[in-house]
Amino acid sequence: MSAETSEIQELGRSARQAIAAAQSPQALTEARARYLGRKGSVSALLRTLGELDPAERAARGQAVNQLKQSIEAQVSERRAELEGRAQDRSLAETRLDISLPGTVAPAGHLHPITQVTRDMVAFFTSMGFAVEEGPEVETDWNNFEALNMPPEHPARDEQDTFYVEGGHVLRTHTSNVQIRVMTGRKPPFRFIAPGRVYRHDLSPKHSPMFHQIEGFMVDDRVTFGDLKGVLYAFARHLMGSETELRFRANHFPFTEPSAEMDIRWGDEWLEWGGCGMIHPHVLERCEIDPEVWQGFAFGMGIDRTALHRYGLPALRVLFDGDVRVLEQV
């Protein structure tokens, strides 16, 4: 083997190593320049061809050209490899692993009053009661007069009414819905009406805005026994199957007879609400014949029920919006 041939082979070997050693497209470009660039070793070799005999020049020229082509081929193969690798890396870095659990946004939960209200509504709708709503700004007629409380009636004072311009009031109870439902309609009726009510009263046990749920049933054979049965089933649904109720004689202008009901809570009796048989005057005001139709009504505080159900210390806890409390119930 001539010295020239081994020089070409040596160059080929060193070029192959340099190409294999290049770890980036940039390094590869530099390696290529060292051999094929204007000042590269292969180019230098080509320039020496002119010094050779014509016979030798052809054979050697061919060998150098083959080397050149082989280096080009290796460079482009290596380039493709390096670029492919760079792409794999960037794909790996930006990879979206759709099997990873997501970041869960805190969803919060329903306010205790809403929870209790929904539970109450679920109970009554399961018994075939409809759900009715009335406005919070109400006429004197619907809130008082039609409920057998004429202007001079002392019961109006007990209700600590907020008056609104134009003779309207903020409804003091959900009993206004009784009048709205009966007016212009014919019995039978069976509905509940949960909602906000307002009284000018602020103390640890009272808030000027609170929630009541009204229950109402009119048919042609409704008795006080039906009322007690419904209330017992209701109380036991809410507070447990052993829950006891107590009925105390009381007075409401729109029921006769009327009772206050207490619900048993441990060793205590809690005032829960009022109830009674619908007063004939109320039916008459709504053009319903009390000789044919009769029924019961009741109304209780939703907030107070929530308070005891969740063991909260005071009513205001329900309205403060303190997240530490809301997270617990």
Query: Contact positions toward ligand PHE, by CB under 6 A?
Result: 173, 175, 252, 255, 273-276, 297-299
Parallel, antiparallel, or unpaired: how do β-strands 130-131 and 255-265 relate? unpaired
Q: Least distance in Å: CB of 300 to ligand PHE?
A: 7
Q: Least distance in Å: CB of 324 to ligand PHE?
A: 32
What is the arrangement of strands in the sheet containing 189-198, beginning at the earlier edge strand? Answer: 130-131, 189-198, 209-219, 294-301, 268-278, 255-265, 245-252
Q: Least distance in Å: CB of 231 to ligand PHE?
A: 11
CB burial class (10 A; 0-12, 13-18, 19+) of residue 196? Answer: middle
Alpha-carbon Rg of the chain, whole angstroms?
Answer: 46
Q: Strand, helix or coil at 43?
A: helix
Q: Least distance in Å: CB of 289 to ligand PHE?
A: 20
- Which C-beta is closer to ligand PHE: that of 156 or that of 173? 173
Query: What's the CA gap between 327 and 304, in Å, rounded?
Result: 19
Residue 160 gets the label, from left (phi > 0), alpha (psi -120 to 50) or beta, of left
- Which C-beta is closer to ligand PHE: that of 175 or that of 294? 175
Instruction: Take residue 226 and report the two structure tokens written for it.
Output: 């039906």
Residue 101 gets the label, from left (phi > 0), alpha (psi -120 to 50) or beta, of beta
Under 8 Å between Cβ of 194 and 174: yes
CB burial class (10 A; 0-12, 13-18, 19+) of residue 325? Answer: middle
- Which C-beta is closer to ligand PHE: that of 243 or that of 250? 250
Q: Least distance in Å: CB of 184 to ligand PHE?
A: 21
- Which C-beta is closer to ligand PHE: that of 36 or that of 261? 261
Parallel, antiparallel, or unpaired: how do β-strands 189-198 and 130-131 relate? parallel
- Which C-beta is closer to ligand PHE: that of 22 or that of 231? 231
Q: Least distance in Å: CB of 236 to ligand PHE?
A: 20
- Which C-beta is closer to ligand PHE: that of 67 or that of 149? 149
Q: Least distance in Å: CB of 299 to ligand PHE?
A: 3
Query: What's the CA gap between 160 and 201, in Å, rounded?
Result: 7
- Which C-beta is closer to ligand PHE: that of 234 or that of 252? 252
- Which C-beta is closer to ligand PHE: that of 60 or that of 173? 173
Asked whether the CA dihedral 283, 288, 294, 298 is positive or negative, the reply is negative
Q: Least distance in Å: CB of 200 to ligand PHE?
A: 14
